[in-house]
Amino acid sequence: MKSGFVGIIGRPNVGKSTLLNAILGEKIAITTDKPQTTRNTIRGIFTRLEGNKDDLQLVFLDTPGIHKPRTKLGTFMTDSAIRTLKEVDVILLLVDGPLSKGPGDSYILELLKQVDTPKILVINKIDLLDPDTFRGIFEEYESTGLFRHIFGVSALEGKNVPALMNAIESLTGEGPMYFPEDMVTDHPERFLVSEIIREKVLMYLDDEIPHGVAVEIEAYKETPELTRISAVIHCERKSHKGIIIGKGGQKLKGIGKSARLEIEALLGTKVFLELWVKVTENWRDNRSAITNFGYDKD
């Protein structure tokens, strides 16, 4: 069989997690319209077993968006993404605009020049690009000579994702089966639950708050009929705590209901979800807090 590891890299908010979910056909990585939603490297496992030479297993690593960090958490996120370049068999660089759009993609290209790993450029969100704009982006990146293939895709709509998968497979060699056939991620359910809760917080909150929010699972007890979960939403300011809770607790109730419904679908059981909000000032620059919240374990 063929097997290998594929790194998905790019600036924040270009659609890396959306692409991973589209490849796997189910949601394992949270997605919002806010930059830096992904904090950990998320591993998604694609397996195709037909009992012949076409058997394939690809382990995708969805990395945090590469950006100039302003906090210790930001440094961890960027370092995690950069480490991926040296640990995979194929690199996918996702972009959604011209190279001249800003310094972020130029910085990533300089990093890519330092590794010999085969690279594929993925121009995402083609459903939002007119033909001339797409052609300009294509030619700009093609001129760098760094990429074996260049694809335009719409991760949200799944457009051209099968063709991209064929190209990835063509760059993958023979190897072992790393994970069981029915496994789509190696992250434990507790991690996925915390990410679902954080996604709902991001969706309900204003732009100035999300980067200062972390979710910690304090209790997780499973029975065949019911899973009881207690989680703490950490924020950095007292004023943010009030915003998260909302008038009469309505915003927190909305976050909890939305999260509970998705967690029930994930676990296949009824869920009792209890949410608390706690102020942990400046946790993004606190090494101990970053470790406790699971952001330096990759």
pLDDT digits (tens, 9 = 90+) for 91-138: 999 999 887 666 678 888 888 888 889 999 999 999 999 999 999 999
Is the pLDDT score of 36 beyond 50? no
In the chain, residues under CATH classification 3.30.300.20 are 189-292
CA 178 vs CA 45, 57, 95, 143, 185: distances in Å: 9, 8, 29, 36, 12
Q: Quick check: 47 and 54 in contact, CB under 8 A?
A: no
Task: Determine the pLDDT at residue 167.
Answer: 96
| Cα distance between residue 2 and residue 57, in whole Å | 6
CA 264 vs CA 88, 258, 273: distances in Å: 34, 10, 10
Task: Determine the pLDDT at residue 62.
Answer: 79
0.85 exceeded by pTM: no
Given 1.10.300.10, 1.10.1760.20, 1.10.287.1080, 3.30.300.20, which CATH number is that of 189-292? 3.30.300.20
Task: Determine the pLDDT at residue 60.
Answer: 92
What percent of the chain stands above pLDDT 90? 42
Over residues 147-183, the pLDDT tens digits come to: 999 999 999 999 999 999 999 999 999 999 988 888 8
Over residues 181-203, the pLDDT tens digits come to: 888 887 777 888 888 898 888 88
Which CATH code fits 2-170? Answer: 3.40.50.300
What percent of the chain stands above pLDDT 70? 82
| Cα distance between residue 99 and residue 89, in whole Å | 24
In the chain, residues under CATH classification 3.40.50.300 are 2-170
| Cα distance between residue 193 and residue 171, in whole Å | 34
